[in-house]
Amino acid sequence: MEEHIRYMRRCLQLAANGMGQVSPNPLVGAVIVHRGRIIGEGWHRHYGGPHAEVNAVNEVLERYPDGKDMLQEATLYVNLEPCVHQGKTPPCTELIIRHGIQEVVIGCTDPHEKVAGKGIERLAAAGIRVHRGVLEEACLELNRRFVLFQTQKRPYVILKWAQTRNGYFAPLDASRFWITSPLARQLVHRWRSEEDAVLVGYRTALADDPELTVREWSGRNPLRIVIDRDLSLPASLKLFDQSERTLVFNAIKTDIDGKVQMLEVENFNYYLPQFSLYQLYLMDVQSVIIEGGARTLQTFIDSGLWDEARILTGSTELPGGIPAPRVYGRVTDQRQISTDQLITYRNQHQ
């Protein structure tokens, strides 16, 4: 069992390399072991590309002249159940069977309705020895966005905000006031690169004129989302510069202007969190990070539609201002980021 755990940990390390690149697919890493030695590794690198198992098998075939024979004596480790359906790529179960791999060790089953144990059944029916549940909790944790998206039919919601040491979110006059250090701001850009979308409310868009792009980190830009009930935000804002896809939830109309899409929300004041998350689910948006403002954040908190909250507390203070949102959950991480304190919470009801 210790051997299985060691190689599964390596699968998780490999899988994490796909963060921010593979959504709405899951993060998957694969390791192929032959006589106690790793002979092939792979991970799912980008959406629509070869799966982890394919990349690992190809590495074996490229590195070893007798790779085909070695595969027939090898064990494949993978953190998520191999797919059994035809998607953008062929089923990985058929690849495994075709190459005669006789043993497969799986971290957790795939909750996707087209897989959900069928991959394991297919491998077992082909006479392959299958072990599952190795580091299952860690495997589910890594793919928590994918798992929630498949089971609850909505994106994984991350709340993020900065607050002063005395608990204020922003000055009362809505002027721009930097609370956190440059290192913390760089971390926020990294977080954006890892999620499918980033959302702000009307007042934040108007006061801060944010770009909501990834500039201080390497990675893809998320879908930009702004809540603008009456479509009254100025067209001069950076959000509307046509450089990236932008979605505007509003109560007026549904329309498209280049890369800016307007989407009308019925019962805007009452069901905005529910409606917006459902629409994002239909758009294959697997995760969204909500960066403000205070009212928007509190709306999602009050609705219970959040999964993770990342709160940065700076060393600065304000004599008064807009109070920071209040959230209650299980503390999962606490660390110092330069002069700021980061505390991460999980929603205990999820």
Which active-site residues does the annotation give? 53
Q: Are 137 and 113 in contact (CB under 8 A)?
A: no
Round to whole Å and give the CA distance between 31 and 75. Answer: 8
Alpha-carbon distances of 43 from 48, 213, 273, rounded to whole Å: 13, 26, 34
Nearest CA to 26 out of 133, 95, 132, 112 is that of 112
Tokens encoding 240: 């509307």
Please check whether residue 279 is in contact with residue 251, taking contact to mean a CB–CB distance below 8 angstroms: no
For residue 322, the tally of other CB atoms under 10 A from its CB is 18
* Strand partners for 29: 43
Rounded Cα distance, 20 and 192, in Å = 9
Inter-CA distances, 305 with 109, 120, 145, 154, 202, Å? 25, 33, 14, 9, 19
Residue 184 near residue 337, CB atoms below 8 Å: yes
The CA distance from 186 to 225, in Å, is: 20
CA separation for the pair 49, 31 (Å, rounded): 18
